[in-house]
Amino acid sequence: MRYVDVHGVKLSAIGLGTWQFGSKEWNYGSSYEEKESAAIVHKALDLGVNVIDTAEAYGWGRSERAVGRAIVSRRDEAFIATKVFPVMPVEPVIKDRARRSASRLGVQSIDLYQIHWPNPVIPLNLTMRAMASLQRSDLVKNIGVSNFSLALWQQAERFLSGKVLSNQVRYNLLDRRIENNVLPWAEETGHVVIAYSPLAQGVLSGRYSRGNIPTGLRAYTAAFQPENLDKAIPVIDALKRIALEHGATPTQVALAWLISKPNVVVIPGASSISQLQANVESAQLDLTDEDISELNDVSSIYKLSSGLTDQLTRAARAGQLLASRTLKRYIRPVKSAW
């Protein structure tokens, strides 16, 4: 295993994402939640993975509980990262949420406590005050954010008056937006980018195509819409070609491309032990400069068309607009009548 070492914190470059544990969105069933998830965590620890990522929102606590059951007696081998769902991220609420997460995980202290999303209403300084207090109390070792822009990440750090170690963001060959400023800043300043959906939720495995998509939430996401699966073909073909040269799989090449960058930790989810094992092995894969520039070139052409979720949002916005225009039309004559 390769490790990213920042300010004395040692993180495996390949971690394990556990949204899949007990979450209806993934449809993996009860035997996966009760048995396979623990076996996946154990195998990950055996292979030198320490970063295990979960969140209170995953299966509404079921993922944290599954992780907790799995790390009993192996607590010291794991770096447990969880997230607060920031509905009302102010001090008493955050402290309560953190205590509940720690209890579900069965740990005295959470290694990395992350704010899952920015809250558009509650001022960030209130949230960071709560995070600082948790850190002082030792319930939380390190603070992180997720889905934060660079400006917000920097602001969070100013409010904390300390290091906001990481920003967990979507990063994969089909979504490279964070390369604009988040990633360069992390590299320059010794922060960590935790790449979620590093396999674009399985699209980059090359297993899915128009007419063959997984069940569950993924069927409704933009990346799995037929036109976007078609657009991903050149990227997947490049992954396959490079994989063949290295005796690897497309998935392994996609992960190796990500961790070829300093300060990037990936947290792929896995639906089986063999997937987890294959993902971990990608840490041994050294891509050549030519491989990397081929992947850079082919992926820079990919542009996601908005999927069903975006279409619904757009339809809702269009509906709002129509309603407000209609209202104005009716209000104007009333006003002029006054």
Ligand X SMILES: NC(=O)c1ccc[n+]([C@@H]2O[C@H](COP(=O)([O-])OP(=O)(O)OC[C@H]3O[C@@H](n4cnc5c(N)ncnc54)[C@H](OP(=O)(O)O)[C@@H]3O)[C@@H](O)[C@H]2O)c1
Q: Which long-range contacts (CB under 8 A, 24 or more apart) does 99-106 make?
A: 99/139, 100/56, 100/61, 101/56, 101/64, 102/139, 104/56, 104/61, 104/64, 104/65, 104/68, 105/54, 105/64, 105/65, 105/67, 105/68, 105/71, 105/80, 106/68, 106/69, 106/71, 106/72, 106/75
Residues 94-123 that bind ligand X (CB under 6 A): 116
Q: Among residues 183 and 200, whose Cβ is nearest to ligand X?
A: 200
Classify residue 168 by burial, with Cβ atoms within 10 Å: 0-12, 13-18, 19+.
buried
Q: Among residues 50 and 275, whose Cβ is nearest to ligand X?
A: 275
In whole angstroms, how close is the CB of 241 to ligand X at the nearest point? 17
In whole angstroms, how close is the CB of 289 to ligand X at the nearest point? 25
Secondary structure element (H or E) that encloses residue 11, with its range:
strand 9-12
Q: Is 19 in the site for ligand X (CB under 6 A)?
A: yes
CB-CB contact of 114 with 82 (8 Å):
yes
Classify residue 149 by burial, with Cβ atoms within 10 Å: 0-12, 13-18, 19+.
middle
Whole-angstrom distance, CA of residue 296 vs CA of residue 80? 32
58 is annotated as an active-site residue: yes
Residues 199-218 that bind ligand X (CB under 6 A): 199-202, 205, 214
Tokens of 190: 């010794």
Q: Is 192 in the site for ligand X (CB under 6 A)?
A: no
- State the angle between helix axes of 250-259 and 233-246 in degrees (0 to 180), rounded to the nearest 10: 90
Binding mask 32-71 toward ligand X (x if CB under 6 A, else -) reads: ---------------------x------------------
**CB-nearest residue to ligand X:** 17
Q: Among residues 15 and 102, whose Cβ is nearest to ligand X?
A: 15
Q: Is 279 in the site for ligand X (CB under 6 A)?
A: yes
Q: Is 307 in the site for ligand X (CB under 6 A)?
A: no
Task: Determine the residue type at 331.
Answer: I
Q: Is 299 in the site for ligand X (CB under 6 A)?
A: no
Say how many Å lie between the first and final Cα of the chain, rounded: 76
Whole-angstrom distance, CA of residue 195 vs CA of residue 258? 8
In whole angstroms, how close is the CB of 185 to ligand X at the nearest point? 18
Q: Among residues 237 and 290, whose Cβ is nearest to ligand X?
A: 237
Binding mask 233-252 toward ligand X (x if CB under 6 A, else -) reads: ------------------x-
Which range in 120-128, 153-161, 239-247, 261-269 contacts ligand X by CB under 6 A?
Answer: 261-269
Residues 311-330 that bind ligand X (CB under 6 A): none
SS3 for 48-66, per residue?
Answer: CCCEEECCCCHHHHHHHHH
- Out of 3, 28, 32, 58, which one is annotated catalytic? 58
Q: Is 198 in the site for ligand X (CB under 6 A)?
A: yes
Which range in 29-37, 153-161, 270-278, 302-310 contacts ligand X by CB under 6 A?
Answer: 270-278
Q: Among residues 68 and 202, whose Cβ is nearest to ligand X?
A: 202
In whole angstroms, how close is the CB of 136 to ligand X at the nearest point? 25
- State the angle between helix axes of 62-71 and 37-46 in degrees (0 to 180), rounded to the nearest 10: 50
Binding mask 131-170 toward ligand X (x if CB under 6 A, else -) reads: ---------------xx--------------------x--
In whole angstroms, how close is the CB of 49 to ligand X at the nearest point? 13
* Strand duo 9-12 + 16-17: pairing: unpaired
Number of residues that bind ligand X (CB under 6 A): 27
CA dist 32 to 47, 206, 276, Å? 20, 23, 14
Active site residues: 58
Point out which residues bind ligand X (CB under 6 A). 17-20, 53, 116, 146-147, 168, 196-202, 205, 214, 251, 267-271, 275, 278-279
